Amino acid sequence: MSIAVDLVYQDALVEVHQTIVGGYDNNVYVIRCRETGEALLIDAADEHDHLLSIAKTLGVRSIVETHGHHDHIQAVPAMREAGYDVAIAPGDAQMLPSYDLTLDDDQTLLVGRLEIATIATPGHTPGSMCFSVRGTPLLFSGDTLFPGGPGNTTFAGGDFDTIITSISDRLFGAFGDNTVVLPGHGLSTTIGTERPSLEAWIERGW
């Protein structure tokens, strides 16, 4: 059963709504511009009827995928059929049943007055991508970074050294300690909470 959509963050610029869907308890986020009401959905994971209802209610215009693993994309066909464009990084595009657009690294996506930055973070999958909202402390990490460490790299296409480089260079090297990390599963964390553990993660090898 779906958990009702929750408002998990808001400031003068943005609202973030979250719901949890599917057998793997995937986090689905909606980033909504408070000025215009336009919104972006991150990861059409599962339970398409629920996500379609949320998308209609919150003004979603399009969808981006953090990566192409099955548990993150099961609602993609139904969302596309309903008229929502779906975008993903080229490295994972072949993992989707269908898509509309590909996302480049360091691209800026406009959602109303908001600017969403794309951050290529390969390692969990070749095309894993994170998203930050400029002017806010928000970082959506997909399955790249969780509380307590990196995402699983034992699946086909995963690579531990690559994900560590992505986390070290693209996340820890670019974002301050107060950055709020909203992952693809589980609870949120901050860059400051996770940064001191990087060497321990490298030593343990996962």
In sequence order, what are the beta bridge partners of 6? 18
Question: Which pTM does this prediction carry?
Answer: 0.97
**CATH code where residue 113 lies:** 3.60.15.10
* Mean pLDDT computed over 95-107: 97
The answer to whether position 192 is within a domain reads yes
- The predicted pLDDT at position 77 comes to 98
The answer to whether position 167 is within a domain reads yes
The answer to whether position 158 is within a domain reads yes
* Mean pLDDT computed over 157-178: 98
Q: How far apart are CA 95 and CA 65, in angstroms?
A: 11
What is the span of the domain harbouring residue 118?
6-204
Q: What is the three-class DSSP state of 59?
A: coil
The answer to whether position 133 is within a domain reads yes
- The predicted pLDDT at position 1 comes to 38
- The predicted pLDDT at position 179 comes to 98
- Bridging pattern class, strands 145-146 and 189-190: unpaired
**pLDDT tens per residue across span 138-159:** 999 999 999 999 999 999 999 9
Six-digit token pair at 8? 């998990």
Q: How many domains does the chain have?
A: 1
The answer to whether position 1 is within a domain reads no
